[in-house]
């Protein structure tokens, strides 16, 4: 189960740094993105704080800069968390996407958030779908999971749209203000 310390990905096996979808680009965060990411989070704060546990901490530029440096230094192992930005063709930050190797073999987890100005146009579904296919093609990965609170209808809709199936609904700790304390565990198999 979650956090047992085992990794699905062997050393040297990592997803790509850039995934080009034509009109959308998924790429590893770079330190130079920190200010724009800070602004995107600040603009989206009211919807992020409802669902994202990390938004309970103060959102500061310094923290975003430290995060940017950590992501840059840790790649390609990424300490098991491959953190990407989602960008429009003009470089605008649309949101964030992560591939997390923290469930133990043979599963990895995908997480996401969207800039509040860019929801409702399929950005997250398309980007999470592309990352799902890439993850399922990595050696050692047989399953990708999306975990969301049962009250997070929009997040569940992303998983559903991508053909994940609901493995179970089970109690899990409430970590953000809008959460119900019941988690949905969505699975997609190779």
The residues of the shown chain that bind ligand COA, judged by CB under 6 A, are 47-48, 51-52, 112-114, 119-126, 148, 152, 154-155, 157-158, 161
Q: 71 vs 86, which CB is nearer to ligand COA?
A: 86
By residue count, the chain amounts to 190
Q: Provide DSSP, 123-149.
A: HHHHHHHHHHHHHHTSTT--EEEEEEE
What three-state secondary structure class fits 92? coil
CB of 116 to ligand COA, least distance (A): 7
CB of 96 to ligand COA, least distance (A): 9
Q: Of all residues in this chain, which one has the CB nearest to ligand COA in the complex? A: 122
CB of 43 to ligand COA, least distance (A): 12
CB of 59 to ligand COA, least distance (A): 14
Phi-psi region of 22 (alpha: psi -120 to 50; beta: other; left: phi over 0): left
Q: 6 vs 157, which CB is nearer to ligand COA?
A: 157
What three-state secondary structure class fits 111? strand
């Amino acid at each position: 189960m979650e956090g047992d310390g085992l990794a699905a990905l062997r050393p040297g096996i990592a997803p790509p740094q850039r995934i080009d979808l034509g009109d959308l680009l998924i790429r590893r965060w770079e330190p130079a993105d920190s200010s724009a990411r800070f602004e995107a989070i600040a603009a989206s704060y009211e919807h992020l704080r409802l669902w994202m546990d990390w938004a309970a901490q103060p959102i500061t530029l310094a923290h975003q800069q430290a995060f940017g440096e950590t992501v840059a230094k840790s790649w390609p192992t990424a300490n098991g968390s491959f953190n990407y930005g989602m960008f429009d063709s003009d470089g605008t930050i649309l949101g964030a996407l992560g591939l997390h190797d923290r469930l133990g073999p043979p599963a990895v987890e995908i997480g996401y958030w969207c800039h509040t100005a860019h929801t409702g146009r399929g950005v997250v579904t398309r980007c999470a779908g592309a990352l799902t296919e890439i993850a399922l093609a990595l050696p050692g990965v047989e399953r990708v999971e999306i975990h969301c609170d049962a009250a997070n209808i929009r997040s569940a809709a992303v998983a559903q749209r991508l053909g994940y199936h609901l493995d179970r609904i089970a109690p899990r700790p409430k970590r953000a203000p809008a959460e119900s304390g019941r988690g949905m565990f969505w699975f997609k198999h190779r």
